[in-house]
Structure 1
Amino acid sequence: MIEPEKTAVVMIDMQNGFIHERSPLHIAGARATIGACARVLEAARRSGMTIVHAVRSYAADGSDVEPCRYDAWLRGKPLSASCDPSIDDREPAELAPIDSDLVIVKPSFSAFFGTQLHETLKAAGIRTVVLTGTTTPNCIRSTCYDALSYGYNVAVVEDATSSRTEDVQRANIADMAFIGASVLSSDAFCERLLADMDDTAGRVREAIHRQARMR
């Protein structure tokens, strides 16, 4: 059984600089997922799950912008202190953190890379990570693989994530499911949380411990 108190919802990069159509870093489809992300946050908070906002915030000189984004970033400098407020690093009001939420600023794609996320979740006894946000092939996928590498169960809320095209979305969701992530809808999450999800990581850990005791 997946216990809510041992679960964290990690929402990634749902910020004006990625959502707003005027931003040079705009992700097609991201705005359409705001409602699903908000519903997941609400259901997770009611159940006592940990909420983590994993976000980007760029230096005004662009020194920490990913090279693949730099040329586009120069057209308006989104997610930095020098950009127009409509494309800054804030999350829309529906998704904004509350006092009990955690906020981490990540320096690259994965929410685990260059952050204290693993140490924070481990200290809190978190065993399962639920991913929402943008984009699916980059930040969601890299966070998914890092979480699996650290031994977490991983769930991806499909309609609360987004990609630049539907084909890219489908392919990356399929790859994450194949490697061990559970995929569900925001409606299913809000109705049953993770009641239908196998505690694969816990089950395997217990099997290994059982074998060790028998030697």
Structure 2
Amino acid sequence: MIDPRKAALIIIDMQHGFLDADSALCVAGAAATVPTCARALSHARELGMPVIHAVRAYAADGSDVEACRHELWLTGGRPVSRACDEGRSLAEPEALKPQPGDRVVVKPRFSAFFGTGLDVMLRRLGVSTVVLIGTTTPNCIRTTCYDALSLDYNVAVIEDCTSSRTPAVQAANTEDMAHIGAQMLTCDAFCRRGLESVRDVVAEVAAAVREARP
């Protein structure tokens, strides 16, 4: 069981530029997860978990947009930047907006750890477990998951608070993350039992290594 005060909920890229159907960067399944994400956020705050919003904010000139995405971004109205004609493209929906005490990290790439101070922030907060929600599962959720595992965090993913462009993509990526070591939850289970079912694998391994010393 994980102490919620030593775990952080990280909500990734739940901005209108990825949610709205008319956005060039829309993730087909993302808007449907707003209610479950809102429930997870509310319960995490009740448990005393730090909440971190990992978001995008592209430069108006596109100088920091991924090369693989630049053409779509440019021809699609420059979403998730201040240059976008749709004024709310950068914002999260009202139900998901940061509340007092939440933290915001602007990430330049898919992973919430890449090019950000997230790891230092979590260490200083005493966090050893990250719980991931948001979009998209094969890109930003998965890369954040793998970076967190590489940095020796316990990782839990609330499956129905994440989304992909198709159900098949969603299923394949959640299966892969579970196979590599992420622990999967549902929003209902998280809201009923918190992190009771999540193993502290990092602490277990550290204890085993200490016991194995000559």
Q: TM-score, normalised by structure 2?
A: 0.97
Q: What per-residue deviation string (whole Å, max 9, x for no partner) do you get for residues 169-210 of structure 1?
A: 000000000000011110100110110111111111111122
2:124 pairs with 1:123: yes
Q: How far apart in 2 are the matches of 1:7 and 1:109? A: 21
Q: Which residue of 2 aligns with 1:60?
A: 60
Q: How far apart in 1 are the matches of 2:39 and 2:203? A: 27
Q: Which residue of 2 aligns with 1:30?
A: 30
Q: What per-residue deviation string (whole Å, max 9, x for no partner) do you get for residues 129-151 of structure 1?
A: 00000000000000000000011
Query: Structure 1: 5+ residue runs without aligned partners?
Result: none
Q: How far apart in 2 are the matches of 1:194 and 1:84? A: 41
Q: How far apart in 2 are the matches of 1:68 and 1:18? A: 16
* One-letter code aligned to 2:196: A
Q: Which residue of 1 aligns with 2:86?
A: 85
- Say whether the 8 Å CA contact 1:17–1:86 is kept in structure 2: no
Q: How far apart in 1 are the matches of 2:168 and 2:87? A: 29
Q: What per-residue deviation string (whole Å, max 9, x for no partner) do you get for residues 92-149 of structure 1?
A: 0000001200100001000000001011101111010000000000000000000000
List, as ranges, runs of 4+ consecutive aligned residues in structure 1 with deviation greater than 4 Å: none
Helix, strand or coil at the partner of 2:212 = helix
Q: How far apart in 1 are the matches of 2:33 and 2:129? A: 22
1:124-139 equivalent positions in 2, closer than 5 A: 124-139=125-140
1:1-215 equivalent positions in 2, closer than 5 A: 1-74=1-74, 75-212=76-213, 215=214
Q: What per-residue deviation string (whole Å, max 9, x for no partner) do you get for residues 15-38 of structure 1?
A: 010001110000001000001110
Identity of paired residues, percent? 56
| Root-mean-square deviation (Å) | 0.9
- Closer, same or farther: CA 66–87 of 1 in aligned 2, 3 Å: farther
Query: Structure 2: 5+ residue runs without aligned partners?
Result: none
Q: How far apart in 2 are the matches of 1:180 and 1:204? A: 13
